[in-house]
Copies of this chain bind each other. A is one copy, B any other.
Amino acid sequence: MTSQDIATHVLDEAVALEPIGENLFRGRTHEAYANMIGPFGGTTAATMLNAVLQHPGRHGDPLALTLNYAGPVADGEFVIEARPARTNRSNQHWWIEMRQGDEVVTTATALTGLRRETWSETEAAPPVVPAPEDLSPTGADRGVRWVDNYDMRFVTGGWDDVASGEENPESTTTMWIRDVPTRDLDHVALTSMCDSFFPRAFLRLGRPVPAGTVTLTIHFLATADEIAAQGTDFLLGSVHSHRFHGNYHDEAARLWSRDGRLLATGTQLMYFKG
């Protein structure tokens, strides 16, 4: 459960960065995480966070990340600038920007910090669901390559409900998810999974429509040791939207460990037509 299936996991290939100067890193998109156009946004988010994780001046573990998908990321090379805006005793604030040529394609801010023990409580319990071993992996071909890197086992609001062509009264999808091949969980993998839910507009409208994330905020509610303790086990994710209006809808996602620890929340604003 805690060893990786292969020496270099495909996710690590996808988020790999080469330092090329002060605060500067070079990477390239990976065909295994291809989306309809350009790379899967979860991998982009994970790569932006990885620039902070690789930075020699980093202070503490990731606490928060906000990704703004400013424009399409073209297949090929990119440069990431990750710069500490302010370093405090217990935390650090980061500016991160991904560029291709002269174009800014992604902007982000991140917060890292040291954590100490305090009063602790998870108020948001996970939904009661069958174990992942009692559910089938999603078999449907969704027409994008990146989904092949995940074992998703839908509990409610699955891809079948999108393919049905009928509108659904609720936007909730609950699913188990882990990497394929399996990989020990860390902040990079968790970041990517926070963006792994298909757009809620698909589910409500009962058909795929033009849609894409414009901004994603992740709060890491678990400490690094709790994340590492997950090993290669499935996480339980649940997501829903509050409102669809005027070309945009939000999404609120929560990801729990099997034993009910809330590891992270992901909050998105998505563009959609429909």
Question: A residues engaging B (CB < 8 A)?
Answer: 63-64, 66, 68, 70-71, 85-86, 88, 90-91, 93, 95, 97, 103-105, 107-109, 111, 113, 115-124, 170-171, 201, 204-205, 214-215, 217, 219, 221-223, 240-250, 252, 254, 262, 265, 267, 269, 271-274
Contact = CB atoms under 8 A, between A and B. Distances in A.
B246 A118 contact: yes
Contact of A214 (B95, B111, B249, B273): B111
Interface of A is mostly: strand
Contact of A121 (B104, B204, B271): B204
Complex A-B, nearest 7 residue pairs according to Cβ-Cβ distance, in ascending order? A115-B246, A124-B242, A70-B86, A66-B66, A70-B93, A217-B217, A221-B243
Contacts of A93: 68, 70, 104, 107
A262 B246 contact: no
Given A108-B109, A123-B243, 18 more contacts: A63-B269, A68-B85, A70-B85, A71-B88, A91-B271, A107-B109, A111-B215, A111-B269, A113-B247, A120-B246, A122-B242, A123-B204, A215-B217, A215-B219, A219-B250, A221-B242, A223-B245, A265-B267
